[in-house]
Amino acid sequence: MRKVVEQSLKRLKSDRIDLLYQHRVDKNVPIEDVAGTVRDLIKEGKVLHFGLSAAKAETIRRAHAVCPITAVQSEYSFMTRLPEEFIFSTLQELEIGFVAYSPLCRGLLGGTLTEYSDLNTNDIRGAWPRFQAGAIRQNLRIVEVLNEFGKTRGMTSSQICLSWMLSKYPFIVPLPGTTKLSHLEEDFRATDFTLTPADCQ
């Protein structure tokens, strides 16, 4: 871990990493050892904050007891809700932020995919069950409902999903990915909308 941090600092031409994530917990290394190493790196001024990715509640607690965790990153979207069930209560209790990657369900909720989209040529999504022909057809029905909901509010399906997420808990930061500037601008405009609790329901 120290080696990776030194290499990153060199490539970044920086003397500090603001947020150091352990992406995927290594089952062969006690999390306390990882947290202890990050704690030492923080003391040395090479790292400012510690984060975990795709970690279970118990792992978060164990790591946090050694070195305070600032953020936990996991997949979370309108359709991928497991963090609500398994880690949100722990994050609230320990006052840890949550970074939601794939908040638009890897593009599915963005409204640009169809059942005819080519996801098998140079696209990893083609191998995932949610994007298989039968599944995507069913899953796109959710996008249709979101579009109907958005028509009366001037919102796109992407904006609804991001606004919904921002309305859920104050500790969530959505991290949408995009390859198009127009999509990025659309995503930013999600903050212009406020969904009521009834809307979210």
What residues does each domain of the chain span?
103-170+180-201
In the chain, how long is the greatest CA-to-CA distance?
54
Q: What is the pLDDT of residue 153?
A: 92
Between CA 142 and CA 79 the distance in angstroms is 9
Between CA 167 and CA 201 the distance in angstroms is 11
- The alpha-helical segments, DSSP class H, found in 44-109 are 57-66, 82-86, 88-94
Instruction: Kindly list the distances between the CA atom of residue 8 and the CA atoms of 12, 37, 146, 190, in Å, as whole numbers in the listed order.
Output: 6, 16, 41, 33
- Could you report the per-residue pLDDT of 121-135, keeping only the tens digit for each? 777 777 777 877 788
Segments of 47-190 assigned E as strands: 47-53, 69-75, 97-101, 172-175
Q: Which two tokens stand for residue 2?
A: 């120290």
- Could you report the per-residue pLDDT of 22-74, keeping only the tens digit for each? 988 999 999 999 999 999 999 999 999 999 999 999 999 999 999 999 999 99
Q: What is the pLDDT of residue 31?
A: 97
Q: Which of 55-69, 72-86, 105-119, 156-170 has the lowest mean pLDDT?
A: 105-119
Between CA 171 and CA 24 the distance in angstroms is 21
Residues sharing a CB contact under 8 Å with residue 53, sequence separation 6 or more, in sequence order = 21, 22, 23, 24, 72, 73, 74
Query: Stretch 163-169: mean pLDDT, rounded?
Result: 92
Q: Comparing C-alpha atoms, which of 78, 46, 61 is closest to residue 162?
A: 78
Between CA 142 and CA 148 the distance in angstroms is 10
Between CA 80 and CA 87 the distance in angstroms is 13
pTM: 0.89
Q: What is the pLDDT of residue 53?
A: 96
Q: What is the pLDDT of residue 107?
A: 84
Q: What is the pLDDT of residue 135?
A: 83
pLDDT level of residue 179 (50, 70, 90 thresholds): confident
